[in-house]
Structure 1
Amino acid sequence: MPDPRHSPVRIGGPSQGAPFAPGLGARATILGPVAAHIAFVIELTLVPLLLPAMRSQFELSLSELAWVFNAYSVAVALGVLVGGLFGDTFKTTKVFGYGVFAFLGGSVLLAASTNAEMLIIGRILQGFGAGVFSPLIPVLLTRSAPDKPGRVLILWGSLAGYVAAFAPLIYSGVLGSEGWNLAFGFIAAIAGLSLLVLNWSPATGKPEVMQREKPKYLAIFQARDLWLTLAYVFFTYGAITYFLFRLPLWLSETGAETTSIGFVLSTFWLTFSGLSALLRNKVDQHHVQTIMLAAPLLIAAGLLTSYNANTVLLVGSAILVGAGLACSNAPSTQLILRHAPKGLSAVSTSLDITLARFGGIAAVAVLAETGVSVAGPVICASCLVAAFCTIAIRKQAPQSA
């Protein structure tokens, strides 16, 4: 569960159908979405590591590089809304497949890029596709295993977390700083494998029967605690995204090798994955807001610690921010689903991802060329607002099953 807003997001529940049979067809319905998510996770964790090489090859300024970075986030934010709305209206597997196809096309274009314009176009196409298919992954997985939805989501989240942790180390050890094109080609290959497996699955051709009441979208605007949680997401994930953007560039400017940068980023993702597993049974009615409150404090401390050239302190900053992501990711998703108006869970989780992306866009755009004297106070203020949002959210009594 490595993405700020693309962890195993629970959109809806397991569909009713035949009992899960671990045959070839059932495995195909699981492996298709999982392969797409692995491609998405590799893109997420590798791009910060690829930024210095892309900047050097195309002689980009920090502002231009911020556009390359943010183009993906803008497209994801738009694609998520499309995926959330269309996935509930049309056949889910088809919408998912179109999203993976767009992501694949963008990855191929990035691998073949010869100028900054191609980079930006490729990032937009890739991001839009990722936004369309990513909210539908948990839907497809729970439908593929209706008797064991929790087990398949746990396996999915664990796998994604370890992919996020080890992808930077493998890339930096095998390709170094020269293979950023090959990295995008590898991402495209995994996305292509997802499409092949999805088309191979016998479940793809089955009609989907959905009986839902007409959603009352205006109820979204009356959900006070939902919007407080979304504000929390905006500020915390803005700070985390800025950290992931800034840290590799800072390390490369100080002469750090790609392997060292990959190690620090892997530390971040390993901390996130490990602490998320430890918190799995603690994220309940009694603990969720306490855990959320710890997140902005950890993130602020980690970002302030990252402004130095000491390797030990930099690893420590990665651990702190990774822990902050673990304390904010699943808990905030849980609150968003809890406070979502009836029948609007998919739209609410789409807003969750969109606000997270916009938070990252704003943080990178505003702080890309600033130093600690500006970025430090801005990040601390953002984390303080996130903490106040957590305190302001009303606590609810445990709900009976």
Structure 2
Amino acid sequence: MRPYSSANEEAEPVVMSPRTAIIGPIAAHIAFVMELTLVPLLLHAIQLQFSLSIGDLAWIFNSYGIAVAAGVLLGGWCGDAFNTRKIFGYGIILFAAGSLLVAAAQSFETLIIGRALQGLGGGIFSPLVPLLLTRASPQKPGRVLIVWGSIAGYIAAVAPLFYGSFLSEHGWNLAFVLIAAIAVFALVNLNRRHLYDDLSAHPRFKKDYSELVRSKNLWMTFVYVFCTYGSITYYLFQLPVWLSNNEVKVASLGLLLTIMWLTFSGLSALLRNMVDRPHIRTIMLAAPLLIALGLPLTFYDESLLLLILSSILVGSGLACSNAPSTQMILKFAPKGMSGLSTSLDITFARLGGIATVAILAEKGFAYASSTIYLLCLFAAFCALRVGKGRCRLADPTS
């Protein structure tokens, strides 16, 4: 298939070093991850201020996820069809605006609108992060994805502990202002450095969407992502709800989330040299097993040691699932559809989270744990099946 280029691209883009080129995308991803990290800390305070039921709280949690699931399809398609950097920037603007709207909200309805706008923006820019990163380091795409996850994870790990210890007394609104500020920093950095996104260096291809439908390995990986991220999202939603019912302080919740993210970042760093090698499917298989071991411990006992062990196991599962599954999706993506494929990756992750939270939010321990075990079992099956047989692997920079 013959690549085509656009006449609207900048004539002389500035070529940046890989380390410089990844600053803006990683900063934006930090804001995106901090939403995931800090919002569980804020749910109880939001519930008290607006007198919400658990069902209402689930809507605040899920309105963001639904908007992300919709936004990533738009972002991925536009990223493949137009200037990736510009679409990335538009997404950041929407995300920051939604964060500020949530921070200023005085009603439940405004919260939902702000969360939806925040999620739409996050959905637009988030699938373009791995594209920009792998284009900056095409020789070692798995390594740069691990570095991306590790840096964002370390910073996100500090956020819940720092917020829970020092900023929680100033109100939950401040967390959304902080998220918006980091997003604005990413946008300023992106525009100031004129990130190189030349279509002649990364040619466009005419798309055959039937190839996307026919790729069994790609869809098997999507199902794997749905199951693993659904389980992890349920953990992030249910942990603060369960702990608040047992009168556990916000600082303690922050500590547990920090441990989870530090585990994720530390293990990701250890795996950075393995994801571009044949070990990748073994790493993916470990993820659902670790999650299945760790998540039920949250509800088994009030022991702090068991809660810490649960955070470590779930964080390890997230590390074994995150970059490896993204790397597999980039490999199995048809030519010219990397953006759409990474969008579907995030869509399946969010849909998994939405489904598990919606179905299990008000269910008892036995029902919830049984469902999580089934999800993890199916994810393990998908990890074993991915890559079986022959399949044409696409260039992740396409």
TM-score range, shorter chain: 0.7 to 0.9
- Cα displacement (A) at 1:33: 2.7
Does residue 243 in structure 1 map to residue 224 in structure 2? no
Does residue 349 in structure 1 map to residue 342 in structure 2? yes
SS at match of 2:168: coil
Matching of residues 331-370 of structure 1 within 5 Å: 331-370=324-363
CA distance in 1, matches of 2:87, 2:344: 18
- Cα displacement (A) at 1:297: 1.5
Change (3 A) 1:44 1:197: same
CA distance in 2, matches of 1:148, 1:329: 16
Aligned partner letter, 2:338: S
Change (3 A) 1:375 1:238: same
How many residues get paired? 381
SS at match of 2:278: coil
CA distance in 2, matches of 1:275, 1:65: 32
| Larger displacement relative to structure 2 (187-196 or 308-317) | 187-196
Aligned partner (choices 45, 50, 56) of residue 64 of structure 1? 56
| Counterpart position of 2:379 | 386
Maintained 8 Å contact 2:140/2:276 = no
Q: In percent, how many aligned pairs have the same letter?
A: 57
- Cα displacement (A) at 1:331: 1.9
Change (3 A) 1:202 1:378: closer
| Counterpart position of 1:13 | none
| Counterpart position of 1:122 | 114
Q: Which runs of 5+ in 2 are unaligned?
A: 1-11
Maintained 8 Å contact 1:20/1:146 = no
Does residue 33 in structure 1 map to residue 28 in structure 2? no
Matching of residues 90-101 of structure 1 within 5 Å: 90-101=82-93
- Cα displacement (A) at 1:289: 1.8
Aligned partner letter, 1:37: H
Aligned partner letter, 1:379: I
| Counterpart position of 2:256 | 264
- Cα displacement (A) at 1:339: 2.5
- Cα displacement (A) at 1:319: 0.8
CA distance in 1, matches of 2:131, 2:332: 20
| Larger displacement relative to structure 2 (383-392 or 271-280) | 383-392
Maintained 8 Å contact 2:75/2:125 = yes
Maintained 8 Å contact 1:73/1:358 = yes
| Counterpart position of 1:105 | 97
Aligned partner (choices 160, 163, 167) of residue 168 of structure 1? 160
SS at match of 1:306: helix
- Cα displacement (A) at 1:147: 9.0
Change (3 A) 1:234 1:139: closer
CA distance in 1, matches of 2:309, 2:141: 36
Q: Which runs of 5+ in 1 are unaligned?
A: 1-15
Alignment root-mean-square deviation, CA: 2.7
Change (3 A) 1:229 1:139: closer
Does residue 88 in structure 1 map to residue 104 in structure 2? no
Does residue 277 in structure 1 map to residue 269 in structure 2? yes
SS at match of 2:295: helix
CA distance in 2, matches of 1:207, 1:381: 45
CA distance in 1, matches of 2:190, 2:312: 36
Aligned partner (choices 316, 320, 344) of residue 313 of structure 2? 320
CA distance in 2, matches of 1:21, 1:239: 38
CA distance in 2, matches of 1:338, 1:30: 20
With structure 2 as the length reference, what TM-score do the two structures score? 0.88
CA distance in 2, matches of 1:94, 1:226: 27
- Cα displacement (A) at 1:117: 0.9
1:81-112 deviations in whole A, cap 9, x for unaligned?
11111012112222111101100110110110
Change (3 A) 1:155 1:183: same
